[in-house]
Structure formats: structure tokens, C-alpha cells
């Protein structure tokens, strides 16, 4: 059963992600603050972490970078990270934070499910980039 950890302080984002991903096989957990993500990863060991770009006290970019730092120090297991971006210009931030994938709001259930499936299969999911852009040479890229 896949476990998804969502970090957002926006109730509407939680409602959309939960409606799109939660089912009999998938459980969606939520934290409201970026600083709560790493302890939640340690406790829940999620298969996928979904980060809203705008989280009250610690944004999605800083949270993603903190996750990657902890993974690099072998203090966290490698976890797929999907960022929810506010606009296409935020792709730069998601790429710099080393996210495995990103979606650009507004969200919809089809794109959320597709991105989650691709990331859970071990690939990347990028929106807002040209198909010819090689963001990661070591991982297959799926263009939305």
C-alpha cells in the first residue's frame, strides 16, 4: 500500500490531493509545516512526498533541499518528491531543489495521479519544460 505525505497549509490543496490519490491502496497523510516533513518521513516512511511550494514557515523548495541533505547524510531513506508549483517560472526552483517531479497549479486529479504513478515507478515527471530539455541525465523524463 503506497503511503503519501503531503505538506501544505492550504486546505484546498489537501482536499484535491487526497481526492485524487487516496483510495483503498493509498493513504495520504498531511503536515501543515515544512519543518514537520522530515520527522514525518522518519515516522511514516512514505513512498511519495508531495510539497506545496508555499508552506507557511518553510517553503517547498527549502523543505525539498532539507530532505535531500538528510538523504545525502544517510539520515533518511531516498524518497520521491513531487512539488506543486504556483507558476511555470517556479520550475527553476523545483529543479534547483532536486525534486523528482513537479506539477503547475491549478491541479487536477488526472495529472496528480499520473505524476504519482510515474514517481512511484521510479521515474521523473516534469511540467513546464520542453521535451528536449535534459534536466536529469540519470533518470527517465516523462513530459506532461
Express each pLDDT in 72-111 by its tens digit: 999 999 999 999 999 988 998 899 999 999 999 999 999 9
Low-confidence residues of the chain: pLDDT under 70: 129-144
Q: How far apart are CA 76 and CA 80, in angstroms?
A: 12
State the pTM of this model.
0.88
User: Hey, what's the cell of 98?
Assistant: 532536486
Packing angle, helices 11-21 and 109-120, rounded to 10: 70
β-sheet bridge partners, residue 7? 31, 51
> Contact, 20 vs 109, CB < 8 A?
yes
Per-residue pLDDT at 143: 54
Please list, in sequence order, all residues whose beta carbon lies within 8 angstroms of the beta carbon of residue 29, skipping any fewer than 6 positions away.
3, 4, 5, 6, 40, 44, 46
Range list of β-strands (E), 37-121:
48-52, 80-85, 101-104
Instruction: Extract the C-alpha cell encoding 79.
Output: 524518497
C-alpha cell at 122: 521510479
pLDDT of residue 140: 47
Handedness of CA 6, 11, 12, 15 (dihedral sign): positive
Amino acid at each position: 500500500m503506497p503511503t503519501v505525505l503531503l505538506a501544505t497549509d492550504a486546505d484546498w490543496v489537501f482536499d484535491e490531493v487526497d481526492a485524487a490519490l487516496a483510495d483503498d491502496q493509498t493513504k495520504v497523510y498531511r503536515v501543515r509545516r515544512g519543518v514537520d516533513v522530515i520527522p514525518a518521513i522518519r515516522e511514516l516512511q512514505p513512498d511519495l512526498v508531495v510539497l506545496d511550494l508555499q508552506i507557511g514557515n518553510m517553503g517547498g523548495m527549502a523543505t525539498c533541499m532539507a530532505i535531500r541533505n538528510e538523504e545525502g547524510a544517510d539520515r533518511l531513506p531516498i524518497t520521491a518528491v513531487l512539488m506543486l508549483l504556483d507558476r511555470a517560472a517556479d520550475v527553476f526552483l523545483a529543479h534547483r531543489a532536486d525534486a523528482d517531479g513537479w506539477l503547475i497549479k491549478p491541479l487536477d486529479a488526472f495529472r496528480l495521479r499520473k505524476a504519482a504513478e510515474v514517481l512511484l515507478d521510479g521515474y521523473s515527471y516534469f511540467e513546464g519544460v520542453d521535451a528536449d530539455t535534459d534536466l536529469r541525465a540519470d533518470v527517465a523524463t516523462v513530459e506532461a
